[in-house]
Amino acid sequence: MTTGVAIIVLLLIAVLAANLPWTSERIAFVWPAPSRGKPEWVRLLEWLILFFVVGLVGAGMEYRTQGQLQIQGWEFWVIALSLFATFALPGFVYRHDLRRRLMKRQRR
């Protein structure tokens, strides 16, 4: 796998993982949510766990393509977290705004 392909694959994985907590109603994507729905703190916890999983996937891809891991400072992780939050915006908007509007339109 070349470096360019690895970057594209990692970005696609990151976008998918960032949006999963807001599109899934299952806790940890396995157990059904309570009757009131999945609480927001669970969604945020899943999102944070997926951030670290994507980081591990990225480290694995870096090691596979480069043969070593570069040491990253705190600045890298703050920017990565901000980018992951930006990737999560479509799922967040769907969950908190668009879904309600679509449900109202279906009731009419």
Q: Which domain holds residue 70?
A: 3-107
Which has more pLDDT, 78 or 1? 78
Q: Based on the structure, what is the number of domains in the chain?
A: 1
pLDDT at position 79 is 97
Q: Percent of the chain beyond pLDDT 90?
A: 66
pTM of the full structure? 0.86
Please state the rounded mean pLDDT for residues 2-27.
92
- Which residues on neighbouring strands pair with residue 32, listed in sequence order? 26
Q: Do residues 33 and 26 make contact, with C-beta atoms less than 8 angstroms apart?
A: yes
The pLDDT value recorded for residue 35 is 81
Of 87, 80, 82, nearest to 15 (Cα)?
Answer: 87
Average pLDDT in the 62-77 region? 94
DSSP 33: P
Q: Could you report how far apart the first and last alpha carbons of the chain are, in Å? A: 51
**Could you give the CA distance from residue 42 to residue 97 in angstroms, rounded to a whole number?**
19
User: How far apart (Å, rounded) are the C-alpha atoms in residues 31 and 95?
Assistant: 19
Task: Report the pLDDT value the prediction gives residue 41, as an integer from 0 to 100.
Answer: 92
pLDDT for the residue 106: 76
- Which tops the pLDDT comparison, 103 or 32? 32
Summary mean pLDDT of the chain: 90
